[in-house]
Amino acid sequence: MDGSTPDSLLIELKRLQAAQARSTLGYADRIADLKRLRAAVKSRAEDIVAATSADFGRRSRHETLLSDVMTVLHDIDYTLKNLKRWMKPRRVSTSWQFLPGRSEIRFQPVGVVGIISPWNYPVNLALMPLVAAIAAGNRAMLKPSELTPRTSELLKAMLAEVFPSDQVCVVLGGPDVAAQFSTLPFDHLFFTGSTSVGRIVMQAAAKNLTPVTLELGGKSPAIIAPDYPMTTAAARLTAGKFLNAGQTCIAPDYILAPADQISALTQALRKELSERYPSLRSSVDYTSIATDRHYLRLQQLLEEAQAGGAQIIQINPANEALDPANRIFPPTLVLNPPAQSRLMSEEIFGPILPILPYRSLDEAIAYINDHDRPLALYHFDLDSERTKRVLDSTIAGGVTINDCVLHIAQSALPFGGVGPSGIGHYHGHHGFLTFSKQKPVFYQARWSSLSLLKPPYRNFADRLIAFLTR
């Protein structure tokens, strides 16, 4: 659906809602839908690679296959394996005062789900919430990003082949369409994007009292313990930070390192980056920045930090001249970044990594807790007691210990932020629950204990109430 207007979007939503009211998608339907979706993603893997690379200018084929294809296939597989169990009504305990009645929770689809997905992982972040919505028996409207137009067109064509038009609808368009989309009276609205836009989406949804899941971002810290091997930390931080050239919502946004080991960490990161990307200009493994606007923003962040006294270390092993038109932004380390700079107040979303010194673990924890709760936190430490202290003393959307970003790949773990970094969770069973109404049901028995308690109340009622409120 293109060239959308508020009226046309609402008409499309009502069409999906009418279809949802006419027929319930049962277990067999959901399994069949998920299997068709899996087959479509797998068969179009190279098309996805080509489309995303064309949209970015240059995107690592391997990173696309891992982050936009494999993750979706694995999530579908996990859902297929567990869906029957998730859908079963769940018996729960009944308060003894109401025995022999019984209680259960039933899981029903909420209705029609709206999904607004971003550009940085354009397939993963569109299809993962769609998998959860379909698994829960819902219909869906999807608004993919206009900043990856080829991938959005591919998603639209692929999903039109997999699903009937009254089950899944893809809406294309720019920010104006996204703004209109967020005002629709969905039964649930799922948004992935920046915190600033998330606030706008939540305000729009509030007018209809539409429940929202917001997958946002923020400045995710990494702490390195004093005795953790710097070479290991550097290797794993490089993998997590420079995946997709840093254009990842859970990429480590800055490092807190022992003050006396900043030099050793810097050298280890230099070595690791030089070995991974010996030629930035010709490497097919290093992704370009997705848009000119974002590239310019990253440049401005660095210029402001440098003007404030920061030391800028760009890693360009072959000393190549890089054409800004190709948007290849060198991996960059920043030492002593000004605390009030945009680099330290905004989510970076690029291959720039500030490094901050700390003198005690309490200082590092205090720094994290003085800022908004992050989407992710990374702690590198071989001391289990110290690790427990960090886990107990900080709040973050998710955590990986002694590595980066890998918690997002665990299907049994919920994924989501907290406060400014997000609201709600998905992935696996948690996505199924997000898009289900958990309906509580109490079944009264043939004989009801409460039948003993009815007007006109007498002495027995007084004694019974006194017993129950003892």
Which one of the listed residues 63, 169, 249, 272 is annotated catalytic? 249
H-type helices in 247-326, by residue range? 262-276, 292-307
Rg (CA), the chain: 25
404 is catalytic: no
- d(Cα 259, Cα 233) in Å, to the nearest integer? 15
Length of the chain: 470
Looking only at the bridges linking them, the beta strands covering 112-116 and 188-192 are parallel
For 314-378, the DSSP string reads: E--TT-----GGGT-PPPEEEES--TTSGGGTS---SSEEEEEEESSHHHHHHHHHTSPPPSEEE
Tokens of 7: 């009226």
- d(Cα 94, Cα 108) in Å, to the nearest integer? 21
Which one of the listed residues 63, 215, 272, 347 is annotated catalytic? 215
249 is catalytic: yes
Side-chain-facing half-sphere of 252: CA atoms under 13 Å: 35
Give the H/E segment covering residue 153. helix 149-162
- Residues ≥6 apart with Cβ < 8 Å to 181: 4, 9, 114, 116, 141, 143, 171
Q: Is 254 helix (H, G, I), strand (E, B) or coil?
A: strand
Q: In the sheet where 102-109 sits, what is the strand order?
A: 90-92, 102-109, 436-443
Looking only at the bridges linking them, the beta strands covering 332-335 and 311-314 are antiparallel
Active site residues per annotation: 215, 249
